[in-house]
Amino acid sequence: MSQPLRMPSLIPESAPFSIDQRVWLNGLFAGLLSLEQGVTPLSLEQAAALLPGSLDLAAPGASGAPAEDDDGAPWHDPAMPLADRMKLAEGRPLRRRMMAAMGQQDCGQCGYTCQDYSDAIVVQKEERLNLCVPGGKETTRMLKTLHQELGSSAPAQAKTPSQTPTPAVASAAPAAAPGSSRERPAEARFLSRTRLNKPGSGKETWHIELDLAETGIDYTVGDAFGIFPANDPALADAVLAALHAPADFPIGGRPLRDVLLDGVSLGAAPDMLFQLFSYITGGERRQKAKALAAGEDPDGDAATLDVLAAIEKFSGVRPDPEAFIEALDPLQPRLYSIASSPKVDRNRMALCVDAVRYPINGRARLGVASTFLAERVSTGDKVRVYVQKAAHFGLPADPSLPVIMIGPGTGIAPFRAFLYERMATKAPGRNWLFFGHQRSSYDFFYQDELSGMKAAGALTRLSLAWSRDANEKFYVQDRMREVGRDLWTWLADGAHVYVCGDAKRMAKDVEGALVEIVAQHGARSTDEAIAFVAGLKKAGRYQQDVY
Ligand SMILES: Cc1cc2nc3c(=O)[nH]c(=O)nc-3n(C[C@H](O)[C@H](O)[C@H](O)COP(=O)(O)OP(=O)(O)OC[C@H]3O[C@@H](n4cnc5c(N)ncnc54)[C@H](O)[C@@H]3O)c2cc1C
Ligand SMILES: NC(=O)c1ccc[n+]([C@@H]2O[C@H](COP(=O)([O-])OP(=O)(O)OC[C@H]3O[C@@H](n4cnc5c(N)ncnc54)[C@H](OP(=O)(O)O)[C@@H]3O)[C@@H](O)[C@H]2O)c1
């Protein structure tokens, strides 16, 4: 039998580290130091200084695991602003502060979880600092600042697609099946889109179906689906025109226009682009470009500058096309909660997608992936896709347990999947759905399906909340409070609670309402109710899929 590979240890045998700590430190050093160069073991103090968290060297063996690995990462909350997250992480080791800089969604769009991405940067297995989609520019900026503490190499710039290295997690993993990860997408066929809002709605949300028959993809309800989008061709052409660059200029063996379509983000202009402009303009424009590159806002318009608007602001700039592409961020896949059950039809998969469109200075800005699905892809087209497995979002293993699902807007997506799954598997547990949206006459997604499920007894209870039917806002959490006593009874019966949809406002308001309900109907103080909800989370009975 072959022996497992052993890494030469740089940590003295006498050092009071657990096996996990030793492995972690050795991994760190393997990245930081060249093992081929015959590095001598570190002193205890050097090793301890690099270990994450405070380790009491005076009391060998007293500490079980690295302290900060057990602190529950209090900044790991997608609703918390970056400044607050960084404050919570103050004084922590670099990898923890880098983790706090991430978007905290563990969404996997970068190819990692938030923690794995920061670890990969610290051990220098990942050099790209601009991969966090939910964190956007402010995360990239913070990572760049923190990266300087590593000191050994300059922060990485965006790479052209052909130069893009494979994320560390993927290179360590055995070859995966197509469609099982972002690094190994499969090609699904686009089947159809159906508008879920009635004409006159203020929203544009689509039920999207894809055919997985040729992909071999396997998924479970609760998982999300990754889509590799393409930019709007009209936007790519406008960028080419503004640059006065030839569409067929070769970039890494591909025409510039193709790279603009599917290789780089044409959303928010990255700092690197302004840095590039600062090199090729002069005078006041150069100062402005430098200020924008430093995250300042000299003209009060920084938030409105996508790539095209940035070129137009510095009209007449003629960057070298290759340098221009290198200054842009890579175009990242986007995730969508799966809205169908493979138990019903494993090849026909559904999503529920809200099209992001908003005007700035008279030009319609388009969310790249949502409008790709809403208008640019046609029936029969191939779309690059993958399944993002949900680590902590799924139906209870015991099918007899009741479930409470809270999903306003597109948050209904995974719950449609849950309901179909529970019907297909004849799960005896009760199902309670809270759905809400703007107006009952226009935005009642899947109304007929839900009525049918209710009539069939599969949907035990449906509670609705329309935010714009009356003068006063009325949200799902207001409905929850109204029926708080019943909710408490379901909880007492062992119900699992699920929340899906907006992370910034809805998710924390819903949690607040649940705390109130537990306090009021469970006869607990607010602190006890908070602890009760925390206990539900810990037991996997309060799960969130928020974005
Ligand atoms: C696990 C997970 C599941 C998800 N599930 C779903 C789902 O089921 N359905 C769904 O629709 N989405 C879902 N999302 C969100 C989805 O991944 C995308 O983030 C969303 O569709 C927007 O992507 P986009 O490419 O269209 O927009 P982008 O090109 O990324 O543009 C969005 C950006 O535009 C800017 N913006 C948006 N509106 C405005 C405005 N009014 N004014 C100024 N700026 C604005 C903001 O900076 C915003 O970040 C999910 C996300 C995650 C992480
Ligand atoms: N960054 C933002 O400001 C912003 C705003 C909207 C949506 N989004 C994002 O857009 C995507 C799609 O949104 P969506 O189409 O699913 O719907 P949505 O815009 O999230 O709206 C769904 C429903 O939730 C209501 N709502 C708003 N604030 C709420 C709160 N604090 N608590 C409970 N409900 C609340 C909305 O009411 P009202 O609209 O009447 O208030 C609406 O009735 C999501 O990714 C979401 O995060 C972002």
- Separation of 260 CA from ligand 1 center, angstroms? 20
Q: What is the pLDDT of residue 270?
A: 95
Question: Is 70 exceeded by the pLDDT of residue 468?
Answer: yes
Q: Which backbone phi and psi does 508 adopt, to 5 degrees?
A: -80, -30
In which element (H, E) is residue 477 found? helix 476-482
- For residue range 17-27, what is the model confidence (pLDDT) as tens digits? 443 444 344 43
Say if strands 403-406 and 496-501 run parallel, antiparallel, or are unpaired.
Answer: parallel
Say if CB 310 and CB 269 are below 8 A apart.
yes
- Give all strands (DSSP E) within 263-376, no chain letters: 334-337, 348-354, 357-360, 363-366
Instruction: Confirm or reject: Cβ of 336 under 6 Å from ligand 2.
Output: no
What's the CA gap between 181 and 386, in Å, rounded? 5
Q: Which two tokens stand for residue 423?
A: 């019907």
Q: Is the CB of 273 under 6 A from ligand 1?
A: no
Q: Give residue 514 CA to ligand 2 midpoint distance, Å.
A: 19
For ligand 2, atom 30, which residue shows the shortest CA distance? 506
Residue 195 corresponds to which tokens in the numbers above? Answer: 């508008």
- Give the nearest ligand 1 atom to 545 CA: 1
CA of 433 to the centre of ligand 2 (A): 17
DSSP state for residue 472 in the 8-state scheme = S
What atom of ligand 2 comes closest to residue 438's alpha carbon? 43
In whole angstroms, what is the distance from residue 293 CA to residue 306 CA?
A: 14
Nearest-CA residue for atom 2 of ligand 2: 504
Question: Is the CB of residue 544 below 6 angstroms from any atom belonging to ligand 1?
Answer: no
User: Rounded to the nearest whole angstrom, what is the distance from the C-alpha of residue 101 to the centroid of ligand 1?
Assistant: 19
**Residue 283 alpha carbon to ligand 2 centre in Å:** 44
Q: Which of 36-50, 264-278, 419-433, 526-540 has the lowest mean pLDDT?
A: 36-50
The mean pLDDT value for 459-479 works out to 98
Q: Within 10 Å of residue 222's Cβ, how many Cβ atoms?
A: 22
Task: Name the burial class of residue 348, with classes exposed (0-12), middle (13-18) and buried (19+) by CB atoms within 10 angstroms of its CB.
Answer: middle
Label residue 72 by pLDDT band (50, 70, 90): confident
- What is the rounded average pLDDT for all residues in the chain? 86
How many CB atoms are closer than 10 A to CB 92?
Answer: 21
Question: Does 61 have pLDDT greater than 60?
Answer: no
Give the DSSP H or E segment for 544: strand 542-546
Q: Which of 43-47, 218-222, 358-362, 383-387 is least confident?
A: 43-47
Query: From the CB of 104, is ligand 2 less than 6 Å away?
Result: no
Residue bearing the CA closest to ligand 2, atom 14: 409
Residue whose CA lies nearest to ligand 2 atom number 46:
502
Task: Write down the pLDDT at residue 45.
Answer: 38
Q: Could you say which ligand is closest to the alpha carbon of residue 407? A: 2
Rounded Cα distance between 260 and 97, Å, is 33
158 secondary structure, DSSP code: P
* Position 544, amino acid: Q
What mean pLDDT comes out for the span 153-159? 46
Q: Is the CB of 341 under 6 A from ligand 2?
A: no
| Nearest alpha carbon, ligand 1 atom 14 | 336
Strand duo 431-437 + 403-406: pairing: parallel
Residue 209 has pLDDT above 90, yes or no: yes
Which pLDDT tens digit goes with each residue over 305-357? 999 999 999 999 999 999 999 999 999 999 999 999 999 999 999 999 999 99
Asked whether 105 and 547 are in contact (CB, 8 A), the reply is: yes
- 365 Cα: distance to centroid of ligand 1 (angstroms): 12
Cα of 12 vs its chain's centroid, Å: 39
pLDDT-derived band at 79 (thresholds 50, 70, 90) equals confident
Q: How far is the C-alpha of 508 from the C-alpha of 514, rounded, in Å?
A: 10
pLDDT tens digits along 417-462? 999 999 999 999 999 999 999 999 999 999 999 999 999 999 999 9
Q: Which helix (H) or strand (E) holds 542?
A: strand 542-546
Residue 284 — pLDDT band, cuts 50, 70, 90? very high
18 lines ligand 2 (CB under 6 A): no
DSSP 410: G
The amino acid occupying position 67 is A
Note the pLDDT tens digit of each residue in 88-141: 999 999 999 999 999 998 888 888 999 999 999 999 999 999 999 999 989 999
* Best mutation site among 475, 479, 502 for ligand 2 pocket (most ligand atoms within 8 Å of CB): 502
433: three-class secondary structure by DSSP: strand
Number of other CB atoms surrounding residue 205 within 10 Å: 22
**Which residue's CA is the nearest one to ligand 2's atom 9?**
502
- CB neighbours of residue 353 within 10 Å: 26
Judged by DSSP in three states, 86 sits in: helix
Is 287 strand, coil or helix? helix
Average pLDDT over residues 270-297: 96
Nearest CA to ligand 2 atom 23: 437
Q: Is the pLDDT of residue 215 over 70?
A: yes
Ligand 1 atom closest to the CA of 414, numbered from 1: 8
